[in-house]
């Protein structure tokens, strides 16, 4: 069958690639066409547009790049109609993908949505739009099932695909030597995958690095950028390693991490790395977000646990001094550090078992063929 996938961010590229791999196990003649990234491209098929040309963060940034966003949306719709897939699989990225879903449904194309839009965070009435335009919704967070039940909507809970990726990870025993790292303990910097968030977050991370001479700070580089994007952030002779496609090896070795709010916060927790979560953006965008968002926390770790497990430093609270203070606790306060690690163990239990990609692929293939496929 013909599968058209749309992923607009690095995390979507990861989950899309794993889903494609599982679909190929079920459908030997599967054809893929997609908006995605390098990981999906490695699985075969045709990459139509790279997510690096699509990811804009914040209300103001989207408006500023509205011509590009609308152009991408128009092109995506036209390409779907021209290719006529058996199913459209949308992966997260709701601002874009919900519009694609509505269009495709009107064209008579079956729509599956993998990784539910975070409608529970704000504008919950968007559930009505999802009910109208999505045939099958696959959720990856435990609390989402109960949320959708309140709206009289049945969904499939498949577990979290990050568990698949973390479980499949095999550490590089030569990691330090291969990347020119010293024997100093490592603090990982994960400033995000989009240009805007990196530009807002990385400078303060680098300021903080100067306060811990006994540690080496290492940046997890976004795969859509090169080293040339990061070097202008270094000032006064500062030199910090930037590693690409090595985030899991980096987390495997890290003593602590400073992490941009997003999927990476959960990945860091699954590797049991004590972390501080940070977020900063355009002041107007943040103001709008604070006015409409209906949740207490921004990190996935705290959302899943429904309590503050990892410190969240947002906008004005995100400074060199506040990050430094939190790192001091994570690195040197044994009780504070142990409490976070104990909470991670409870998080593991809530997250359940790996296999989300395989289960989702089985459900999609089963819905298309009307066959019951063992998950």
pLDDT of residue 259 exceeding 80, the answer is: yes
How sure is the predictor about 182, in pLDDT bands with cuts at 50, 70 and 90? Answer: very high
pLDDT of residue 175 exceeding 70, the answer is: yes
- pTM reported for the whole predicted model: 0.77
125, 127, 129, 134 alpha-carbon torsion, rounded to 10°: 180
pLDDT of residue 59: 55
Which one of 3.40.50.2000, 3.30.1440.10, 3.90.1260.10, 3.90.1150.10 gives the CATH number of domain 2-159+355-369? 3.40.50.2000
pLDDT of residue 286 exceeding 90, the answer is: no
pLDDT of residue 294: 56
Q: Which whole number is the average pLDDT over 92-120?
A: 93
pLDDT of residue 274 exceeding 70, the answer is: yes
- Nearest Cα to 84, choosing from 17, 1, 16? 1
How sure is the predictor about 236, in pLDDT bands with cuts at 50, 70 and 90? Answer: confident
pLDDT of residue 295: 64
State how far the Cα of 246 lies from the Cα of 186, in Å rounded to an integer: 14
Q: Check: CB of residue 323 under 8 Å from CB of residue 205.
A: yes
Topology agreement, domain 2-159+355-369 and domain 168-351: yes
pLDDT of residue 82: 98
- Of 117 and 214, which is predicted with more confidence? 214
Q: Which whole number is the average pLDDT over 20-33?
A: 97
pLDDT of residue 87: 98
Q: What percent of the chain stands above pLDDT 70? A: 91
pLDDT of residue 373: 58
Domain limits of the chain? 2-159+355-369, 168-351
pLDDT of residue 192: 94
pLDDT of residue 113 exceeding 80, the answer is: yes
pLDDT of residue 358: 95
pLDDT of residue 74 exceeding 80, the answer is: yes
pLDDT of residue 127 exceeding 90, the answer is: yes
- Of 207 and 373, which is predicted with more confidence? 207
pLDDT of residue 61 exceeding 70, the answer is: no
What is the pLDDT of the chain when averaged over all its residues?
91
pLDDT of residue 265 exceeding 70, the answer is: yes
Q: Is 49 left (phi over 0), alpha (psi -120 to 50) or beta?
A: beta
pLDDT of residue 110: 97
The packing angle between helices 334-351 and 320-332, to 10°, is 90
pLDDT of residue 297: 85
Regarding the domain delimited by 168-351, which CATH topology (the fold level of the hierarchy) does it fall under?
A: Rossmann fold (3.40.50)
Q: Angle at the Cα of 34 (from 30 to 37), degrees rounded to 5?
A: 115
pLDDT of residue 64: 65
């Amino acid at each position: 069958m013909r599968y058209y996938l749309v992923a607009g961010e690095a995390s979507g590229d990861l989950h899309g690639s794993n889903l494609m791999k599982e679909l190929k196990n079920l459908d030997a003649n599967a054809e893929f066409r997609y908006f995605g990234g390098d990981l999906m491209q490695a699985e075969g098929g045709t990459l139509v547009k790279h997510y690096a040309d699509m990811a804009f963060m914040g209300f103001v940034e989207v408006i500023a790049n509205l011509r590009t966003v609308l152009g991408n949306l128009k092109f995506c719709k036209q390409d779907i109609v021209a290719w006529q897939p058996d199913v459209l699989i949308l992966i997260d990225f709701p601002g874009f993908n919900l519009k694609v879903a509505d269009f495709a449904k009107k064209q008579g194309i079956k729509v599956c949505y993998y990784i539910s839009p975070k409608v529970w965070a704000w504008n919950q009435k968007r559930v009505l739009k999802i009910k109208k335009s999505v045939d099958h919704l696959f959720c990856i967070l435990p609390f989402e099932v109960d949320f959708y039940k309140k709206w009289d909507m049945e969904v499939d809970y498949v577990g979290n695909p990050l568990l698949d990726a973390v479980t499949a990870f095999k550490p590089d025993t030569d990691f330090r030597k291969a990347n020119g790292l010293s024997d100093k303990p490592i603090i990982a910097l994960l400033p995000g995958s989009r240009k805007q968030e990196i530009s807002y977050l990385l400078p303060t991370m680098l300021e903080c690095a100067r306060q811990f001479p006994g540690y080496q700070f290492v940046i997890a580089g976004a795969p859509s950028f090169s080293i040339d994007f990061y070097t202008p952030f270094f000032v006064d002779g500062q030199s910090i390693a930037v590693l690409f496609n090595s985030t899991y090896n980096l987390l495997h070795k890290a003593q602590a991490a400073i992490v941009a709010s997003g999927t990476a916060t959960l990945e860091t927790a699954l590797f049991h790395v004590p972390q501080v979560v940070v977020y900063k953006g355009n002041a107007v965008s943040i103001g709008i977000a604070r006015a409409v968002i209906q949740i207490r926390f921004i990190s996935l770790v705290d959302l899943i646990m429904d309590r503050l497990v990892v410190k969240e430093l947002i906008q004005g609270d995100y400074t060199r001094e506040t990050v430094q203070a939190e790192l001091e606790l994570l690195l040197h306060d044994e009780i504070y550090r142990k409490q976070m690690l104990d909470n991670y163990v409870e998080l593991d239990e809530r997250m359940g078992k790996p296999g989300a990609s395989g289960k989702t692929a089985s459900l999609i293939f089963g819905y298309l063929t009307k066959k019951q496929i063992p998950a």
